[in-house]
Amino acid sequence: MAEKPQLVNNSPEDIQTDDCMSTYTHIYSPDLLIDQVAFITGGGSGIGFRIAEVFMRHGCDTVIASRNLEKLTEAAKKLTGATGRRCLPTVMDVRLPETISSAVEKTLKEFGRIDILINNAAGNFLCPATSLSFNAFKTVMEIDTMGTFNTSKVMYDKWFKDHGGSIVNISATLGFRGQALQVHAGSAKAANDAMTRHLAVEWGPSGVRVNTVAPGPISGTEGYSRLGGTHAETAGAFRSIPLQRAGNKTEMAHSVLFLASRAASYVTGSLLVADGGAWLTSANDVERLLCILSSRSAKL
């Protein structure tokens, strides 16, 4: 019997931890973001960290902004060490507009400009609607949806209104079909997808583009571990994904880089699904999700 031909693996380098990659192959021009400044919420870990690294490898300086200064400071050291670009760690909570204002003012003082905003900060956990407290639903809405609005509005008022800019929101496909145990995150991300279109329409005349990347399961991330990625992989659940695997963080960074950069100069209000086709075919496997949930402590 003829052997199955070996498929070309086009996925770029990545590593599972929140460290910079030891090698990186440019597929875009290395000076695509030269001397620009990107403000990345949640840039101290996971997908946000890799977005910061890839942007810096394209000539950009970055601000990584979230709640945990120790984590951010360590991340910034790694990012500057690997890329030679500047990275400013800044504490803020996307739920508190005054902390965002301070962080944006600090950025403008340090760098004198902001070209790109990545709304990547989010909170999530698996929980059936019946067990979800009112405060738990509200907390995720406040981080994911209010947080995206708060940060976008502060950035627009303080800089983008007069200088233009590019916003990329990090979403998810959960709400497209209605994933079980995810009513909080799915509702929050669906609201964000609408927000992308509203703000693209309203802010387009000021030279602000607003777009979204919706990742699928991305290995080496908090989201992957909280939502049972390893369990799904071991159980062979990724065979139902058209591309038959999880994505990696560098792949997400490349999708975000496209939309954030001048490569997408005529693209606004769009949503780029970067999930290997997962949402089209993946089973809504409630039994598997409940099994992951019961194998953990109630609070993650």
Which residues lie near ligand HXC (CB under 6 A)?
Answer: 122-125, 127, 133, 135-136, 139-140, 172, 174, 185, 222-223, 226-227, 299-300
Strand order from edge to edge, sheet including 116-119: 87-91, 61-66, 37-41, 116-119, 165-170, 208-215, 271-274
Nearest to 274 by CA among 41, 33, 50, 38: 50
Rank residues 96 and 163 by Cβ distance to ligand NAP and give the closer one: 96
Q: How far is the CB of 192 from ligand HXC (least distance, A)?
A: 11
**Beta-sheet pairing, 37-41 with 208-215:** unpaired
Q: How far is the CB of 154 from ligand HXC (least distance, A)?
A: 20
41 binds ligand NAP (CB under 6 A): yes
44 binds ligand NAP (CB under 6 A): yes
Burial of 256 (0-12, 13-18, 19+ CB in 10 A): buried
288 binds ligand NAP (CB under 6 A): no
Rank residues 177 and 198 by Cβ distance to ligand HXC and give the closer one: 177
* Separation in Å, CA 145 to CA 119, 171, 255: 10, 10, 21
Q: How far is the CB of 203 from ligand HXC (least distance, A)?
A: 25
Amino acid type, 234 = T
Rank residues 71 and 106 by Cβ distance to ligand HXC and give the closer one: 71
The one segment of 5-13, 106-114, 199-207, 211-219 that binds ligand NAP by CB under 6 A: 211-219
Q: Which of 222, 243, 267, 269 binds ligand NAP (CB under 6 A)?
A: 222
Q: Are 192 and 145 in contact (CB under 8 A)?
A: yes
Q: What are residue 18's phi and psi, to 5 degrees?
A: -85, 60
Q: Which does 36 bind (CB under 5 to 8 A by kind): ligand HXC, ligand NAP, none?
A: none
Per the listing, tokens 């390893």 go with 230
Q: Which of 14, 53, 93, 115 binds ligand NAP (CB under 6 A)?
A: 93
Q: How far is the CB of 1 from ligand NAP (least distance, A)?
A: 37
Q: Tell me, what DSSP letter sits at residue 15?
A: -
Helices (H), the chain: 46-56, 69-83, 97-111, 134-140, 147-155, 161-163, 174-177, 183-203, 222-226, 229-234, 249-260, 278-281, 286-294
211 binds ligand NAP (CB under 6 A): no
143 binds ligand NAP (CB under 6 A): yes
Q: Which does 48 bind (CB under 5 to 8 A by kind): ligand NAP, ligand HXC, none?
A: ligand NAP
Rank residues 19 and 222 by Cβ distance to ligand HXC and give the closer one: 222
Burial of 294 (0-12, 13-18, 19+ CB in 10 A): exposed
Cβ-based neighbour number of residue 99 at 10 Å: 18
Q: How far is the CB of 90 from ligand NAP (least distance, A)?
A: 10
| Whole-angstrom distance, CA of residue 288 vs CA of residue 237 | 10
Size, binding site for ligand NAP by CB under 6 A:
30
Amino acid type, 111 = F
223 binds ligand NAP (CB under 6 A): yes
Q: What residue ranges bind ligand NAP (CB under 6 A)?
A: 41-42, 44-48, 66-68, 71, 93-95, 120-124, 143, 147, 170, 172, 215, 217-218, 221-224
